[in-house]
Amino acid sequence: MKCLPAFDFFSLFSFILIIEFSFAADSIARGESITDGETLVSSFQSFELGFFSPGNSSNRYLGIWYKKSPSTVAWVANRNNAITDKSGVLTLSNNGSLLLLNQEKRSIWSSNSSRVLQNPVAQLLDSGNLVLRSNVGRSSDEYVWQSFDYPSDTLLPEMKLGWNLKTGFERYLTPWRSADDPTPGDVSFRLDNSTAVPELVTFMGSRKHARSGPWNGQTFEGIPWMKDSVFKLIVEHKEDEVYYKFKPINDTVTTRLQLENNGTYHRFVWDETTSKWHKLYSWPFDHCDNYAECGANSNCRVSETPSCECLTGFISKSQEDWDSPDSRSCVRKPSDCPGGEGFLKLPKMKLPENYWSNQSMSLRECEAECTKNCSCRAYANSQVVGGGNGCLMWFGDLIDTRECSEKYLWGQDIFIRVPTSDLESSQESSKHSNKKKRLKIIVAISIISGMFILCLLLFMARKKAKNKDQTKRELLDWSMRFRIICGTARGLLYLHQDSRLRIIHRDLKTSNVLLDHDMNPKISDFGLARTFGGDEIEGSTNRVIGTYGYMAPEYATDGLFSVKSDVFSFGILVLEIVSGKRNRGLYNSDNKFNVIRHAWNLWNKGMPWQLIDACYQESCNPDEVIRCIHISLLCVQHHPEDRPSMPSVILMLGSDSVLPQPKQPGFLVDRKSTGPDSSSSKPESSSTNASTFTELEGR
């Protein structure tokens, strides 16, 4: 083989380096250009800028997309002016402006920079922001132009949505018209600058489509799931600007908000394991999120049929109007002010729009001010931080209100002015309603209890269901696993609440949940169970007996047990069912790793789906599985008082209500054991409240 001359080899090597540099560059200087087929790539390979054709279209656009997901375009420059061929060129002009030129060298888009730079540089940052700066200026204050000021349909971390109050410049989202056409649609997602407290609003043209409700210091109360342990929400209201933005608490989480042409926006998170985007939530969520769904002075309750009703103290204008969705409206009942009125508290509500605000007033001062003015229709706190502060008052119609108490964790208390007669009747109605609800619960639980007792008599024989064979494990698809979770929860509910004596199992684990041939779960092995009568709810013992890996921290260390101890064990059982791994059978290369710690770490990284057993990953409902993981982490919280009761767990499993964020779990250091079901005991007496008796060994 003939060797290349040294000079030729050096030239070839230099040429390769130049090509590599051109593909790896994240910036261009004055006079430099990017043609169709060339790209800029941010320094850590997060984003890429270049020309693309959306969907099935042959038109070309300049855009920014995720390097690891090229089909996910975060920003488009020439949305209204497509290039019909591959002749497009992006260049940085001598006066420091970015110009997009077509085949005729005519500018079809430019950055329109207001300042002239001596040594301009256009750089693509790892945030996805394309910035124009001088070659020595690195801070955001020195950017003369940035793509973050001109969003398309996507909101990225640290991208602001809001207003420059000095110049009147607004940043807002507009969706693509279709997957083939990035032209702005008629929908827009904005931060409303006309309100005293910042709100997010989706518009269909000039008509409001959905409204978030006011910022309450933690979240926008109409979109409660925006507040998440994975993301930090930031709302600033300064003299010169007001804006909303978000950022991941963990920088390794890749996330975005995207607005669709139907007015719905979605939160997506990237899963590195599957290399796919996962949808976390969408808004509007249901029809009660639609703006003024029930008209003025009315309440929307998504769990009721019909869902619209007049607020207490108001009546419908006419039945004909009420039957028509476009003309629903309620008016105040005649009343005598002052003297013949009072304020009725409506808990957990989305606050209506068009309010007066005073951030320095307390709730008591707010009430006093509203009481003095007969035109004041309602009042509430503006902030929930620190127990509540600030004052909101309404002097006109109460528009766009919904009930959040049953469907959402969030929502605020509002106090509305009503006639004294309505105040008294509302209190009586509330008592009657509570009695009816209790009766319904008693009847339902009685039926469930009867069924459970019948099944319990048939399946008391101990039978361990250990099966580590992969093919057999695959038979348990997600629907079966979810049925086992729900059935076990109902069994615990019976033991804790509906049996004649309250029973605490103290050794709940997967091997003590038996399955019949129809895969119905039955809790077994009551050898360690303790019964309570009357108002007894907890106990203590010096003889700790049970299976390590399933014991609640307070029981394993101090011998304290209660219904919340079983809740902890149930949480571990759910994690095992979801992951397909035993709590003491998960290791990494360095440390022994239990399922609780593994689930908690994935949760904090915003990647809980990585816990899902690969056997059913493709066929499951990811949202349902992640909800089960969320519930399990609530069950294994370190402090018993933070854990939900079993009635609450069943409610959470059977609904799509927004869940609270879990706190630190109780990590137990697993001890060396001789077998999978080893237990520990210390031969001493135990006591429960006023009763003292000997602990029976179940092994």
What amino acid positions are annotated as catalytic residues?
507
Measure the CA–CA gap between 690 and 25, rounded to whole angstroms. Answer: 76
Render the burial of 306-325: b for 16+ CB within 10 Å, e for the rest. Answer: ebbbbbbbbebbeeeebeee
Mention every residue, 6+ apart, whose C-beta is less than 8 A from residue 576.
510, 582, 583, 595
Element (H, E) at 441: helix 420-458
Mention every residue, 6+ apart, whose C-beta is less than 8 A from residue 272.
607
Measure the CA–CA gap between 58 and 146, rounded to whole angstroms. Answer: 27
Question: What amino acid occupies position 297?
Answer: N
Which DSSP symbol is given to 60?
A: B
Q: CA separation (Å) from 384 to 220, 223, 313?
A: 11, 15, 26
Render the burial of 107-130: b for 16+ CB within 10 Å, e for the rest. Answer: ebbebebeeebeebbbbbbebbbb
662, 574 in Cβ contact below 8 A? no
Measure the CA–CA gap between 126 and 46, rounded to whole angstroms. Answer: 6
Which DSSP symbol is given to 288?
A: G
Measure the CA–CA gap between 156 and 160, rounded to whole angstroms. Answer: 9
Question: What amino acid occupies position 332?
Answer: R
SS3 35: strand
Tell me phi and psi for residue 281, to 5 degrees: -160, 165
222, 239 in Cβ contact below 8 A? no
